[in-house]
Amino acid sequence: MNISENEISEIVKNVLAEMNGQERKQLGVFDTMEEALAEVNKAYTLFRHYNKEQRENIIKKIRELTHNEAEIMSKMAVSETKMGNVYHKTLKHHLVADKTPGTEDLECRALSGDRGLTLVEQAPYGIIGAITPSTNPTCTVICNSIGMLAAGNGVVFNPHPHAKVCSCYAVDLVNRAVLAAGGPENIVVTVKNPTMDTSNMMVNHPSVRMLVATGGPGVVKMLLSSGKKAIGAGAGNPPVIVDETADIKKAAKDIIDGCTFDNNLPCIAEKECFAINSIADELVSEMQKNGAYLINSEQVKALEDVVLVTVPPKNPQDSPKRVINKNWVGRDAKKILAEIGVNAGNDVRCIICETEFSQAFVQTELMMPILAIVRCDTFEQALDMAVKAEHGCRHSAHLHSKNVDRMTAYAKAICTTIFVKNAPSYAGIGFNSEGHTTFTIAGPTGEGITSARSFTRQRRCVLVDSLSII
């Protein structure tokens, strides 16, 4: 995960040189948060007068540039964060460009009656402060920008420090699109070196009216304690259940496809599997045919020592905690296997193992292409375990079954924002499925699959005893 300043500037230089034949200053990227905030406020005084058509033209241009530069951004993100893979990240950028809603997402409600006409409009908040993750850095910047600009806001990003170069690149791309479509300079801004200090300044600045956090529990909690309107898109630990009515061949392929997408970085990706006993052998065998490498219990122990680290408790009475070793998040299965002495072929994309329910790979959001499978006697037992393994995040859950009653029972019990049946997890964000996409899935604060309307405030406009024309 450590990348030197020199390597970073080399990447930026190469990319910019590749695009323009020369280096140039990135648009919307500032040395200090003070400057960034001053500039976005200046831009907002102009942008607040832009109508929907003008905003839609900007969104159209962002979509176009995102398509054009999907691969560049994916290469940058993988190179900087050492996580995920270029092919899947490229697909994610195209998805963001195609399926993030624009201004069409905004609705006006009209209440017309005996006493006149009342309109309820979805208005911008003003300046939104957004914190973005290292796992989907550029996609989140672009997806948030489309939704927030469509709703008429200005945006200041405080990206993850481990993904600052590619995130700045995405901010620059958005600004290039805004300018090309006739918009103001610096309506989307960020800082070159995001830190906790720049984050605090952004969160507490009076001109920032709304906050949006996409990341783990720490950042969501911090934003929700800010006293401002906040949208929190936090962690999950999505379980997948496979029952005896499922098409096992398809279930196995779908689960491995979803679990290995961008090396399991998406928060919606299958993180642990509960399989009914009678089909478990077939499921494992089909997964092996789809690029899964089955490890035994000794290898599981060895793998635990690689992908987990022990942190001493803050309180001496408590026991030490095992947490993920961030060095292995989003890495290739083959590289992880090499650490435990397994030399796997190039077609291996996932590590699978059979474990007890209490095992760390079941209980922890690893964000690695590792899938623990727990055998269950009945569907009811699988459901109970899945609910417990999700830890009340209410994020995502998945099922392979043809039994509608079970689908209903599972959905009712687990209460997740996303519930996918008989498809890879990424169907939950509109990839090869119906529905729009987002990279900010707001479970804790309830906006769900966020879009432009999530970034608005309702305003009511009342005219009494007039303009009700019937």
**Interface contacts to ligand NAD, rule CB under 6 A:** 131-136, 159-161, 196, 199, 214-216, 218-219, 222, 233-236, 267, 365, 439-441
CA–CA distance, 317 with 323 (Å, rounded to integer): 18
Supply the minimum distance, in Å, between the C-beta of residue 181 and ligand NAD.
27
- Beta carbons of 348 and 249 less than 8 angstroms apart: no
Cβ distance to ligand NAD smaller for residue 162 or 375: 162
Cβ distance to ligand NAD smaller for residue 61 or 331: 331
CA–CA distance, 255 with 243 (Å, rounded to integer): 13
Question: Which residue's beta carbon is nearest to the bound ligand NAD?
Answer: 215
Cβ distance to ligand NAD smaller for residue 127 or 268: 268
Residue 265 is encoded by which pair of tokens?
A: 């970085």
- Beta carbons of 272 and 255 less than 8 angstroms apart: no
Residue 181 is encoded by which pair of tokens?
A: 């479509």
Cβ distance to ligand NAD smaller for residue 160 or 331: 160
Supply the minimum distance, in Å, between the C-beta of residue 324 and ligand NAD.
9
Task: For the beta carbon of residue 242, count every other beta carbon within 10 angstroms.
Answer: 27
Closest CA to 268 of 283, 253, 276, 257: 257
Closest CA to 273 of 357, 332, 333, 336: 357
Supply the minimum distance, in Å, between the C-beta of residue 406 and ligand NAD.
26
Supply the minimum distance, in Å, between the C-beta of residue 363 and ligand NAD.
14
Supply the minimum distance, in Å, between the C-beta of residue 438 and ligand NAD.
7
CA–CA distance, 446 with 233 (Å, rounded to integer): 9
Query: In the block, which residue shows the tokens 């948060």?
Result: 33
Cβ distance to ligand NAD smaller for residue 76 or 280: 76
CA–CA distance, 388 with 68 (Å, rounded to integer): 43
Amino acid at 71: E
Supply the minimum distance, in Å, between the C-beta of residue 230 and ligand NAD.
12
Supply the minimum distance, in Å, between the C-beta of residue 238 and ligand NAD.
9
Cβ distance to ligand NAD smaller for residue 133 or 183: 133
CB-based burial, 273-289: b 16+ in 10 Å, e otherwise = bbbbeebbebbbebbbe
- Coil/strand/helix, residue 113: strand
Cβ distance to ligand NAD smaller for residue 153 or 158: 158
Supply the minimum distance, in Å, between the C-beta of residue 6 and ligand NAD.
22
Cβ distance to ligand NAD smaller for residue 364 or 401: 364
Supply the minimum distance, in Å, between the C-beta of residue 396 and ligand NAD.
9
276: which strand partners? 376
Closest CA to 424 of 91, 73, 78: 91
Cβ distance to ligand NAD smaller for residue 262 or 286: 262
Supply the minimum distance, in Å, between the C-beta of residue 413 and ligand NAD.
21
Supply the minimum distance, in Å, between the C-beta of residue 326 and ligand NAD.
7
Strand pairing class (292-295; 229-233):
unpaired
- Coil/strand/helix, residue 85: coil
Supply the minimum distance, in Å, between the C-beta of residue 43 and ligand NAD.
23
CA–CA distance, 87 with 65 (Å, rounded to integer): 18
CA count, 13 A, side-chain hemisphere, 52: 11
Cβ distance to ligand NAD smaller for residue 215 or 239: 215
Cβ distance to ligand NAD smaller for residue 185 or 419: 419
Cβ distance to ligand NAD smaller for residue 76 or 246: 76
